[in-house]
Amino acid sequence: MNTLPPAFVERIKKQLGAEAKAFFQALETPAPVSIRRNPGKATDCNELEITEGKTTPVPWCPDAVYLEGRPVFTLDPLFHGGAYYVQEASSMFLHHVLKQLLPPTPVRMLDLCAAPGGKSTLAASLLPPGSLLVSNEVIRSRAAILKENLIKWGQDNTVVTQSDPAAFRALEGAFDFLLVDAPCSGEGMFRKDPASIREWSESNLRLCSERQQRILADSWACLRPGGVLIYSTCTYNPAENERIIEWLIAGGEAESIPLFCPFPGIMPADSAACAFRFYPHKTAGEGFFLAALRKTAGKDYTPRKNKKAKNAPHTALPKELRAYIRQPEQYAVFPDNGILRLVPESQAAFIETLSASTNVLYAGCEAAETNGRKLRLLPPLALWQGLDAPHDGIYDADRPTALAFLKKEDIPPIPSSADWLLVSYHGIGLGWCKNLGNRLNNYYPKEWRIRMQIE
């Protein structure tokens, strides 16, 4: 590991006292590797090929396990099919927190700083039926990664936006939950990311704290009275953690939410507010901080029609497309330059309003593209959990064939009368091929293809 900044070392010694030595020793050990299964696609982590070795459960997330080492995930077709997500274990504590806070009724949740998608995919799987998750990322390149990961996760209760946090002020009181995994100094990533050590400076700590306050101030209005803010970082710096929470409470519109935490090693934060810290010498994971606050004032959301909305939904589904949808009556369609986006009917009006004030990159499931009378199936439909693929239209590939498909290479045809073949691996959809009889056209997205050499 690169030499740690002396000012950081001195602060940690003060924060941890006699435990500081164990902390620094932990930073010299390999980072744990953990994955979280997709409950909509895989029944158990240990049924995945990637977990053939010994696994250990992640205590605070029943869907997750630690692996013995770090395999080449790129060469596992199930990774590309969204059967699981590779996520740092400490951040999966969100699962334990949401299980305590989510009601049984539908909610709207905004994940404000969502890329690359770990917390969004986790939350999307836990939300009550009928809920909506808006996953936002302001940086365009990171928003593209977020979109890809949510498409592969395969749920339709999600919208991806690429907007500044201030854009959500127009949706005053619209969200029941606001997740802010705030951009931070990244001290908790020192073990995994040596670049974060080189970028560390005391001036950057101040800039991060100021940015976090701005993000929260800009987005606070979109949380309804009684709504919940879950704030987290991957840093050890109190100025970006406890002091931010205390600043919000001092503003008079927030109160701490007591949370139950039965897991040894997760430490209470140095604050009167209920918050938790993860240190690598105490838990198998990286540095992490989390707190939950309840908003005590503000205005409730008033639904209104906005003439600036980019697209209006309708419910006419082409007959050919209905055959691929398990419950077509539950969806509205947003047509966008020939692309048919399927969104839950119950959330269609809100998504339309959302598109007036934010840059919506993706919503629900982009199922197909129409060109005159022709219908072209799109990759997200193959990865969607609502897909009802015809039995005679499935190409369940072996591993070499699946990897060839994911490299966007030609794969051998199979006897089938179906126009479109769903290429799958162990029952997990990967993408589409157009059946031309004597050959197949590979429709896997060029930007997603495997680029590494496969021996």
64 bridge partner residues: 36
Q: At which residue do the structure tokens 């905004």 appear?
A: 110
Nearest Cα residue to 63 out of 32, 90, 85: 85
Under a CB-based contact definition with an 8 Å cutoff, are residues 326 and 129 in contact? no
Q: Between the CA of residue 330 and those of 196, 228, 322, 345, 347, what are the distances in Å? A: 45, 28, 11, 6, 10
Q: Between the CA of residue 173 and those of 100, 176, 248, 296, what are the distances in Å? A: 22, 8, 17, 12
Mark whether 234 is an active-site residue: yes
Cis (ω within 30 of 0) for the bond into 116?
yes
The identity of residue 102, as a single letter, is L
- Would strands 275-278 and 267-268 be described as parallel, antiparallel, or unpaired? antiparallel
Catalytic-role residue among 113, 234, 365, 433: 234
The string of DSSP codes covering 386-408 is TB---GGGEEE--HHHHHHHHTT
Q: How far is CA 305 from the centre of its chain?
A: 29
Q: Return the CA Rg of the chain.
A: 23
- Would strands 440-442 and 428-435 be described as parallel, antiparallel, or unpaired? antiparallel
Catalytic residues: 234
